[in-house]
Chains A and B, each alone.
Chain A
Amino acid sequence: MPDYDAIVVGAGNAGSAAAITMASKGLSVLLVDRSDPPGAKNLSGGVLWGNDLAQILPKWQSEAPLERFIQDKKIGFLTDNSSIVIDFKTKIFEENKVGHTVLRSKFDPWLAKKAKEAGATVIPGITVESLATKDGKIVGVVESGDVITASVVILAEGINPRLAIEAGLREPLQDWEVSVGVKEIIKLSPQKIEDRFNLTSTSGMASEYILGNLQELNVGAFFYTNKDSISLGIVAPMEQLRANGVTHTYDIIEQFKEHPSIAPLIEGGTVAEYGAHMIPEGGMDMVPKLYGNGYMIVGDAAGFGFSNGLVLQGMNYAFLSGMLAGETAVEAKAKNDFSDNSLALYRQKLESSYVLKDLKTFKDIRKVTNNKNMYTTYPKMLEGILLEMLWERGQPKKKVRDILGSCAADLKMSKLKTATDFYYIYRRM
């Protein structure tokens, strides 16, 4: 008899969701995390979309340590001198309150506590050393020479899944598969936040930008309001950072903070925390085999995330993949079959959910996010068009068609090239 029905390695959103799903169905679950309190070292940009979470914790909106609900979502481009932003504020967000800013160092320990309440044994402060294998099957975890056994091990160890890699369950991470996120938390009084962003005491703003002022790098940036702080940061592709010899990513975040449209928003704030984290951006191409004899891989460890340059999501994919792995384990327990064949159900569940559907739909999205024009030429073109249209400087007015043409010419882009490029971006996004 194994010690547990399931061992979950990693108390992030995916791991805790898996543990809650299994423990609430009566499975004996061990959830291990390196940090104490569990999950406190986890980091992400900070917007949580909770549709999936609501399935396992219906009262999450009133119980979880949330910062502000997203009432206002902005996306846009920043150039050296300008910001071009779409500000989407809708009653629909306000009525549903599904998107919230969170601070993971508070949210994740709460989620792990929910796993404990559901009946899981939650052990914080322990780093699992390796996976225990027997006859080609994963049978448990190894720590300090002790083997703790389980019918199934769920690997929720995050973006750089050392255990999975060392056990040969996936290849080591490649540069193209990840971006580097660098984040700062800037303390600012609730009063200032609410005044500056036109918010109430509970509503919040989340914006994402394409930074059009960096020549060699396709960098995105984010800016979210918490209760009494701002989460902001940049996201840069590892491959480009390496190719351009950029080692000081903090220079990029400084540039973002000093941008004329960002600096006034954080004025008077003090940096309270900073951190960096890798983000899965390899799409379908980086997804490993997701299950096998005695194991399943969930969340970031499986490469689940979505990014198109202007939208960046990961936590919802983590919840859902964790829950689906949990459900699979519950069904496997009922059949008493944790073989490769039985756990293939996890893949089927992912296929019929938005997790793998999204990754398939957007399989070519990296061609957009890797498109240099998206990050340099088009923001400048857009800036040029708006200057022509919105700035009166005693010149004869031009038609949009002619503005577009002259802006393209200024940036050494042919009309045809621009048109085909737009067409492909349109098709892939």
Chain B
Amino acid sequence: MLKIAVMIKQVPDSQDISIDPVTKTLNRSMARNVVNPPDVNATEAAIQLKDKYGGEITVITMGPPMADTALLQLMGMGADSGILATDRVFAGADTWPTAFTLASVADYLGGFDVIFCGEETTDSSTGHVGPGIAEFLGCEQATYVHKVEYEDGHFIVNRDIEGAEETIKIGRPAVITITLNANEPRNPTLKRKIGAYKKGIRVVTNKELQLDPSCIGLKGSPTIVKDMKTVPDPVKNPTKLGVEEIDKLVSALVEKGVVK
């Protein structure tokens, strides 16, 4: 039986976020919170692996207390339990302390045979956290994966690489990051969601983890955001070309030698 973890993040719905011009941070107040979309694919990949080879799935997130709804949703899909790492000292983390904290949670829970992550988050798009977790735990890793099989204690995975697909075999324990749309995630069901609600979420704070405060949260973040700019929407040309203008356009193109 495989011990499977899925690391997930609740993100603001990317349609609704803007950048605060003063603080240079994302203004999430107007946005609805959703599970980072490739994390849903990662959860589906974990469930498919469990369905085929047996196992138990733990979904883990680091975030504010309200992130519990994300865990409940994924438990509604079929994950067995949910862990919410939440503590004021975790706040403001960039990818380094995030990976460190999540790796520490995995370790604290006794380790996993495989840890799934989404390829990247829609609110920062770094793709650092999955590989970071693998490095902190000293696991093997495969990124940008859309297919996973398990054979003789190894994972056979298909990776998307530019213009091609790579099939590799990695050992256990492993961290595998799953691409957006790698699979078609199942919908949560009412019965499973009720089960998740009854079971509840386990909360883990730094009181339990005892991580060095200089390695977590804002203090542990080497990234300093110098500036952030919003790019204005491209101005659409308000004059629409009518049929009568096509002749003019063609002759202009012929004149310039673009069309012969």
Contact = CB atoms under 8 A, between A and B. Distances in A.
B73 A143 contact: no
Interface string B59-76: 000000000010001001
Most buried by B among A32, A36, A125: A36
Most buried by A among B32, B69, B194: B194
B53 interface: no
B50 interface: no
Given A123-B193, A125-B76, A126-B188, 15 more contacts: A30-B194, A32-B190, A123-B190, A123-B197, A124-B69, A125-B193, A126-B76, A126-B189, A126-B190, A126-B193, A128-B190, A144-B189, A144-B191, A146-B189, A148-B194
Closest A-B pairs by Cβ, 6 of them: A143-B190, A144-B189, A146-B191, A126-B190, A123-B193, A121-B197
Contacts of A143: 189-191
A125 B189 contact: no
Most buried by A among B69, B73, B190, B194: B190
Nearest to A129: B190
Contacts of A141: 190
B251 interface: no
Interface residues of B, number: 12
Given A125-B76, A148-B194, A40 B188 contact: no
Question: How many A residues are at the interface, by size bracket?
Answer: 10 to 19
Interface of B: 32, 69, 73, 76, 187-191, 193-194, 197
19 contacts: A30-B194, A32-B190, A36-B69, A36-B73, A37-B32, A121-B197, A123-B190, A123-B193, A124-B69, A125-B76, A126-B188, A126-B193, A128-B190, A141-B190, A143-B189, A143-B191, A144-B191, A146-B189, A148-B190
Interface string A120-151: 01011110100000000000010110101000
A200 to B, nearest CB: 23
B193 to A, nearest CB: 5
Contact of B188 (A121, A125, A128, A148): A125
A144 B190 contact: yes
Nearest to A143: B190
Interface in A4-39: 30, 32, 36-37
B18 to A, nearest CB: 12
Contacts of B187: 144
B187 to A, nearest CB: 7
A188 to B, nearest CB: 15
Contacts of B193: 123, 125-126
B190 to A, nearest CB: 4
A307 to B, nearest CB: 31
A126 B190 CA distance: 6
Contact of A121 (B76, B191, B194): B194
Nearest to A30: B194
Nearest to A105: B32
Interface in A229-244: none
A249 B136 CA distance: 58
Nearest to A123: B193
Nearest to A128: B190
Contacts of A3: 194
Contacts of B76: 125-126
A123 B73 contact: no
Contacts of B197: 121, 123
Contacts of A125: 73, 76, 188, 193
